[in-house]
């Protein structure tokens, strides 16, 4: 056996010393031209080429032709009113504001700007629908309406996906394969619960809370609307929902679906507007429950505003998730998971894996592979089916991201960005990563909410747990290791609402989602998501 090993080894030696290809471009094209001497034995000089100068070339001669999804499959009105009491009503404010396509800065439509009077009107409609219809309706009848909405979301999936991409800038691949189907699944899931609440809360009786005021962010406009509306309706509440000011269109499309589904008037009211509209909802005295997803800053304002009232509240706020790669991890899959973890939806994800902790022994390899993968990401027109990374949602957000990139550079971290070409118009940002980041750097502590990854290293399990938990946030985390026992040890000690093992950014309606610390409280999704909309009597 030993002698066999030696024979093989000597051969390897020969390969390494004599046959290592020189990797300069000239040599390779030469190789290609002279096709016959395929494994030409190279001179010993070739060995001198250091392996860290070797680069893969992703700018290939075979490129993808543009494959844009057709805009004509979606209808967007020139102007939208407010959806109150089952009807489209002109705003009492008499004001409208524009919503643009962040990929080309062109105006898509105008939507109403609801003021406090409009909010009051909507809350009154919701209250009357709650008292007169929805509360009294047998649960299985409620379920039928929600099932109907779910099916209609599926039927209009293509149109919803296109509008989501036009209004928000996310790649069509994501809105088509993730946002819209997951939104439909949420409606299906909670429709199923409506007449089975006694099994969700065994031996207890539940009552709906009343009118729920719901304020949702711009990163997953339709999906967040589904996350909010579905459990509220299933448990017998009525809803006043406000989509984000930069992405109101799919919520308004959902209002059309709700109207078409013949949901009793006033059960769901959708008001567009900016911060002031949200504040009016939060401060309205006749609202029983506030559900908010958005920034920690606004979350704190809401928390203050409702102090001393009877309003129940759930807050799903920011995050700065730690994604941890151990040396025994399946590296290539971990790298892919890290890429999806931070660049999914341009990094506009509260649970994005924005802090990467890599065990030092594999850090070089991981960073090299991350850089390679960065180069093969396609950045551009969100409507193109081949686009991996679309447009940043708004000019303001792009400014924020740029600010953090310059902070990172000033802090002494090493920046690497994809060499991709960016479109001339619209809000775009190259996928970026920082190496040599310190725990005390702002880019490692604060939520950037963009395609920017901070890479830090660690040596031991205890060290990484301490560092991972060393954050004001606690929404999500990821662990990459081949060892099952290590997964359980890590997940038990990590202060995060969701911990993914050997995967990242996986969502399912059956699984609760929510955070610790400044990432908020309350859970959405699954059985836990029902609890946020009932009082147990």
Partner 1 sequence: MAVAKSVKLVPDFSLSPRIDQVGVEERASRFTKRSIKNETKMNGLKLVLNMIDLTTLEGKDTDGKVKQLCYKAMHPHDAIPGIPTVAAVCVYPTMVKVAKKALEGSGIKVASVATAFPSGQATRDIKIRDTKYAVAQGADEVDMVISRGKFHAGEYNFVFDEIAAIKEACGEARLKVILETGELGTYDKVRRASDIAMHAGADFIKTSTGKIQPAATMPVTLVMLEAIRDFYYKTGKMIGMKPAGGISKSKLALHYLVMLKEVLGEDWLSNEWFRFGASSLANDVLMQIVKGETGLYQSANYFSVD
Provide the annotated active-site residues.
316, 350
Nearer to partner 1, 302 or 334 (CB): 334
| Least gap, CB of 346 to partner 1 (angstroms) | 17
User: 202-218: b or e for each residue (b if 16 or more CB lie within 10 Å)?
Assistant: eeeebebbbbbbbbbbb
Judged by beta carbon, residue 63 or residue 485, the one nearer partner 1 is 63
| Rounded least distance, CB 365 to partner 1, Å | 8
Q: Which stretch binds partner 1 (CB under 8 A): 25-33, 86-94, 302-310, 438-446?
A: 25-33
Nearest-approach distance from CB 248 to partner 1, in angstroms: 29
The verdict on 71 binding partner 1 (CB under 8 A) reads: no
Measure CA 61 to chain center. 33
Binding of residue 9 to partner 1 (CB under 8 A) = yes
Closest approach, Cβ 324 to partner 1, in A, equals 15
Rounded to an integer, what is the distance from CA 93 to the centroid of its chain? Answer: 33
Per residue, what are the HEC states of 395-417? Answer: HHHHHHHHHHHHHHHHCCCEEEE
Do residues 182 and 223 touch, judged by C-beta distance below 8 A? yes
Contact indicator for 251, 243 with CB cutoff of 8 Å: yes
56 binds partner 1 (CB under 8 A): yes
**Residue 381 near residue 68 (C-beta atoms within 8 A):** yes
DSSP-based three-state secondary structure for 259: helix
- Contact residue for partner 1 among 104, 259, 303, 376 (CB under 8 A): 376
Closer to partner 1 by CB, 330 or 472: give it.
330
* By CB under 8 A, residue 35 contacts partner 1: yes
- Token pair 């539940």: residue: 206
18 binds partner 1, rule: CB under 8 A: no
Cβ proximity to partner 1, 67 vs 117, nearer residue: 67
Q: Is residue 203 near partner 1 by the rule CB under 8 A? A: no
Kindly tell me which residue out of 26, 44, 63, 199 binds partner 1, with binding defined by CB under 8 A. Answer: 63
Residue 103's CB: how many other CB atoms inside 10 A? 26
**What is the Cα 125 distance to its own chain's centre?**
32
Nearer residue to partner 1 within complex by CB, 385 or 402:
385
Show the binding pattern over residues 484-523: x = contacts partner 1 (CB under 8 A), - = does not.
Answer: ------------------xx--------------------
The window from 78-86, 278-286, 287-295, 331-339 that contacts partner 1 (CB under 8 A) reads 331-339
User: Do residues 225 and 254 lie in contact, with contact meaning Cβ atoms separated by under 8 Å?
Assistant: yes
Strand 106-112 to strand 79-80: parallel, antiparallel, or no bridges (unpaired)?
parallel
From residue 393, alpha-carbon distances to 133, 228, 311, 340, 356 in Å are 39, 21, 31, 18, 24
Query: Other CB atoms closer than 10 Å to residue 163's CB: what's the count?
Result: 27
Give the residue, chosen from 141, 155, 177, 198, that forms a contact with partner 1 under the rule CB under 8 A. 177
Contact set with partner 1 (CB under 8 A): 1-2, 4-13, 15-16, 19-23, 28, 31-32, 35, 38-39, 46, 49, 51, 54, 56-65, 67, 173, 177, 328-334, 336-337, 368, 376, 384-386, 482, 502-503
């Amino acid at each position: 056996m030993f002698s066999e090993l030696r024979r093989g080894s000597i051969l390897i030696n020969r390969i390494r010393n004599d046959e290592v290809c020189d990797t300069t471009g000239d040599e390779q094209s030469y190789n290609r031209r002279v096709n016959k001497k395929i494994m030409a034995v190279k001179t010993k000089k070739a060995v001198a080429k250091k392996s860290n100068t070797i680069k893969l070339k992703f700018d290939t001669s075979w490129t993808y032709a543009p494959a844009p999804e057709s805009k004509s499959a979606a209808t967007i009105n020139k102007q939208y009113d407010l959806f109150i009491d089952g009807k489209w009503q002109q705003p009492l404010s008499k004001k409208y504001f524009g919503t643009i396509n962040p990929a080309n800065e062109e105006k898509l439509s105008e939507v109403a700007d609801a003021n406090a009077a409009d909010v009051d009107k909507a809350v009154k409609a919701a209250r009357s629908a709650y008292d007169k219809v929805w509360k009294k309706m047998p649960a299985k009848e409620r379920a039928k309406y929600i099932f109907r909405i779910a099916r209609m979301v599926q039927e209009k999936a293509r149109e919803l996906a296109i509008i989501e991409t036009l209004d928000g800038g996310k790649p069509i691949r994501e809105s088509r394969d993730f946002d819209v189907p997951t939104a439909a699944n949420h409606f299906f899931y909670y429709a199923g619960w409506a007449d089975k609440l006694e099994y969700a809360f065994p031996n207890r009786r539940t009552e709906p809370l009343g009118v729920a005021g719901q304020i949702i962010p711009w990163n997953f406009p339709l999906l967040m609307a589904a996350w909010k509306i579905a459990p509220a309706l299933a448990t017998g509440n009525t809803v006043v929902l406000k989509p984000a000011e930069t992405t109101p269109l799919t919520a308004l499309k959902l209002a059309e679906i709700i109207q078409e589904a013949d949901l009793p008037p006033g059960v769901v009211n959708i008001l567009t507007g900016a911060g002031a509209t949200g504040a009016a909802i939060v401060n309205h005295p006749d609202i029983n429950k506030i559900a908010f997803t958005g920034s920690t800053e606004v979350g704190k304002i809401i928390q203050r505003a409702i102090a001393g009232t009877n309003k129940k509240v759930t807050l799903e706020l920011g995050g700065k998730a730690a994604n941890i790669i151990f040396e025994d991890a399946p590296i290539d899959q971990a790298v892919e998971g890290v890429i999806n973890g931070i660049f999914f939806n341009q990094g506009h994800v509260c649970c994005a894996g924005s802090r990467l902790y890599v065990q030092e022994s594999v850090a070089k390899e991981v960073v090299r592979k991350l850089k390679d993968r960065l180069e093969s990401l396609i950045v551009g027109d969100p409507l193109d089916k081949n686009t991996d990374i679309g447009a940043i949602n708004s000019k303001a957000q792009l400014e924020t991201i740029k600010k953090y990139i310059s902070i990172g550079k000033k802090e002494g971290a090493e920046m690497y960005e994809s060499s991709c070409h960016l479109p001339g118009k619209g809000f775009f940002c190259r996928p970026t990563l920082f190496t040599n980041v310190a725990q005390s750097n702002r880019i490692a502590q604060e939520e950037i909410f963009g395609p920017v990854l901070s890479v830090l290293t660690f040596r031991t399990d205890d060290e990484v747990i301490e560092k991972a938990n060393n954050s004001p946030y606690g929404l999500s985390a990821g662990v990459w290791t081949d060892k099952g026992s290590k997964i359980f040890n890590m997940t038990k000690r990590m202060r995060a609402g969701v911990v993914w093992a050997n995967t990242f950014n996986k969502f399912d309606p059956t699984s609760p989602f929510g955070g610790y610390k400044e990432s908020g409280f309350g859970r959405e999704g699954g059985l836990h998501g029902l609890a946020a909309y009932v009082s147990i009597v």
